[in-house]
Structure 1
Amino acid sequence: MTVTADEFRTTIDPDDALARLLESSQKLSYDPQTEVDWDTPLDPTHFGLNPEWSTLYGTDLWDEMTPEQRVTLTRHEVGSIMSTGIWFEMILQQMLLREQYTADVTGSEFQFALTEIADECRHSLMFARACSAMGVPHYVPSRPVVEAARGLKSVAKAEVAYGAILVAEEILDVMQRDWMRGENVLPIVRTTSKIHVVEEARHMKFARHEIREHLEGSSALRRRQSAWVISTAAYVIVKSMVNPAVYEAAGLDKKRALEAAKSNEHHHNLMRLSCVHLMDFLSEVGLLTPAAMRRYRAVHML
């Protein structure tokens, strides 16, 4: 039986979740090298993401931009998001490997964790090739963020590791569900988004399962501490998604563009919408503390 991406959010019994996820990974996985049409020339009128998801959509600056600038901006924005995704997928893989270092290799948890790592390797290669096809440079987070993340990937464990993984995956989920249906979006972005949505649905289910397992019987103090670290990771990820250099690539004044993006309520509302499922889950497991909520509000996730 084929299980859809949406079903992973709601219908799997926790008792057989891992077995079902493994079964689905065998039946519903993609090879981006063959599934994506990499050879067709890019239509110059197609956007990199739905215009409504651009950080400048709905602003006066957007209204002043030429159609070519809008196309260029959205391609660089999605390229920046993909590059940030690759960066975090590298962190994710290291955290998963540490979690499973001495785990029972015959168990479903170990086997699915390694399956997820294999998926993430393919996703990173897929996003890298998409950026290359769009002619987008390698956008990276700031040096302080990169260095701080070395600490996270080295010490994060249990619900903190899986919580950081979950927030990164959930943030993209709603966005990409729109991108994969966007008729005016580049086909390579639509197809890569579809692949990511379907396969990450399993990863999100796994992360939620592991968070619940690790938090069972935990103290209120531990939950507060974990909530703070997870919300800080989310704050950094959101702040790093769209590199300021994308505005210059579109021929815009960077300072003015940053100011417009910072005050863009349309985009802020979309961010909050994309995080509804995440916030519901964090509240359910006791990881939506007042301190964490302030962090999420600071980047318009709540």
Structure 2
Amino acid sequence: MALTDPAARRQDHRHTTADDDVSRRLLESAAALSYDPSTEIDWDSPLPEGHYGLNPEWSTLYGTRLWDEMTEHQRVTLTRHEVCSIMNTGIWFEMILQQMVLRDQYLKNPVSAEFRFALTEIADECRHSIMFARACEKMGVPAYRPNKLIAQAGRAYKSLAKGELAYGGILVAEEVLDVMQRDWMRGENVLDIVRGTSRIHVVEESRHMKFARQEIRERLRYASPARRRASATGIAIGAYVIVTSMVHPGVYKAAGLDVGRALAEVKGNEHRKAMMRNSSRHLMAFLAETGLLTSRSAAVYRRVHML
């Protein structure tokens, strides 16, 4: 008896030699340029007291009156908690990502380059999650987790999302973080531990983003307009959940700030909105190119200032 049903066989038929060529090149890149965070990062070096967790310009409060009122110690503390909150969101989503990719590759040809790179990506994500967890432990920051409603939404998403919806969610999380980390890895006043983890993540996630883009193009090759519209909305909702979960409200309390006032200033922070739009520019261009930026999805992206 065949192990795959007719729908799976049709999906395999749509996978072309050109698709596999992309995965093969990514495998070659992974073989030539991958990192082991346990040896690449100096985990024993003490943390300089005055260094930020991320570039101040990426702080949610930068550009507000509250930021101007804060002491330098509060700014340093806030940025360290913010970067660890973002790292913890990254860990949470990497757990979702791994399950979606594994489910997508279930019963696919194990000798194909696509299958092998998918498992390579999962191995990368395991190392990244451990790396982020270790960095937060080093900074002495607690594990900030999404609230119960968001956690349950993530549980549903990882169980139900497939095809371009799954890879679209993956791409959203990776693209936004990539732009941020490219700045952090160059920040002279940013902790070395953050610069180092950012450098590793940027290099290895660039392959993951290329893989996600290729998978999205492949899945949409024969997609109907109705399917594109539905997927566009689903990806936008996923983006909304990810972006609104990146910085936990607890970071403001940790910096000795009034949480209510801090959240109000973040909500009206035009500098932060501009930074979010800038970090989403390439993502929005790709979604538009593939028919995944509709009027409905654009309205969702505007709510979180990605457009």
TM range (shorter): over 0.9
| SS of residue matched to 1:68 | helix
Instruction: Deviation per CA, 1:175-215: give whole Å up to 9, x if none.
Output: 00000000000000000000000000000000000000000
Show the counterpart of 1:209.
Answer: 214
The amino acid that maps onto 1:53 is: W
TM-score (norm 1): 0.95
Distance 1:36 1:116 in 2: 20
Q: Does 1:49 align with 2:54?
A: yes
Distance 2:159 2:143 in 1: 24
- How far the C-alpha of 1:288 sits from its partner, in A, is 0.1
Show the counterpart of 1:187.
Answer: 192
Show the counterpart of 2:95.
Answer: 90
Q: Runs of 5+ in structure 2 lacking a partner?
A: 1-17
Distance 2:21 2:205 in 1: 18
Show the counterpart of 1:290.
Answer: 295
Aligned pairs for 1:105-254 (under 5 A) are 105-254=110-259
Show the counterpart of 1:268.
Answer: 273
- How far the C-alpha of 1:150 sits from its partner, in A, is 0.8
- How far the C-alpha of 1:149 sits from its partner, in A, is 1.1
Distance 2:22 2:183 in 1: 27
- How far the C-alpha of 1:217 sits from its partner, in A, is 1.5
- How far the C-alpha of 1:128 sits from its partner, in A, is 0.1
Distance 1:110 1:101 in 2: 9
| SS of residue matched to 2:245 | helix
Q: Does 1:62 align with 2:70?
A: no
1:35 to 31, 36, 40: 40
Would you say the 8 A contact 2:55–2:190 is kept in 1? Answer: yes
Distance 2:29 2:173 in 1: 22
- How far the C-alpha of 1:16 sits from its partner, in A, is 2.3
Distance 1:293 1:142 in 2: 25
Distance 1:150 1:235 in 2: 16
Q: Does 1:301 align with 2:306?
A: yes
Show the counterpart of 2:83.
Answer: 78
Number of residue pairs matched?
290
The amino acid that maps onto 1:171 is: V
The amino acid that maps onto 1:192 is: T
| SS of residue matched to 1:241 | coil
Q: Does 1:19 align with 2:24?
A: yes
- How far the C-alpha of 1:148 sits from its partner, in A, is 1.2
Would you say the 8 A contact 2:20–2:112 is kept in 1? Answer: no
Would you say the 8 A contact 2:169–2:235 is kept in 1? Answer: yes
Show the counterpart of 1:9.
Answer: none
Would you say the 8 A contact 2:239–2:301 is kept in 1? Answer: yes
The amino acid that maps onto 2:155 is: R
The amino acid that maps onto 1:83 is: N
The amino acid that maps onto 1:207 is: A
**Large movers: runs of 4+ above 2 Å:** 13-16
Instruction: Deviation per CA, 1:55-104: give whole Å up to 9, x if none.
Output: 00010000000000000000000000000000000000000000001100
Distance 1:84 1:109 in 2: 27
TM-score (norm 2): 0.94
Instruction: Deviation per CA, 1:209-246: give whole Å up to 9, x if none.
Output: 00000000210100000001100000000000000010
| SS of residue matched to 2:285 | helix
- How far the C-alpha of 1:14 sits from its partner, in A, is 5.8
Distance 1:140 1:122 in 2: 19
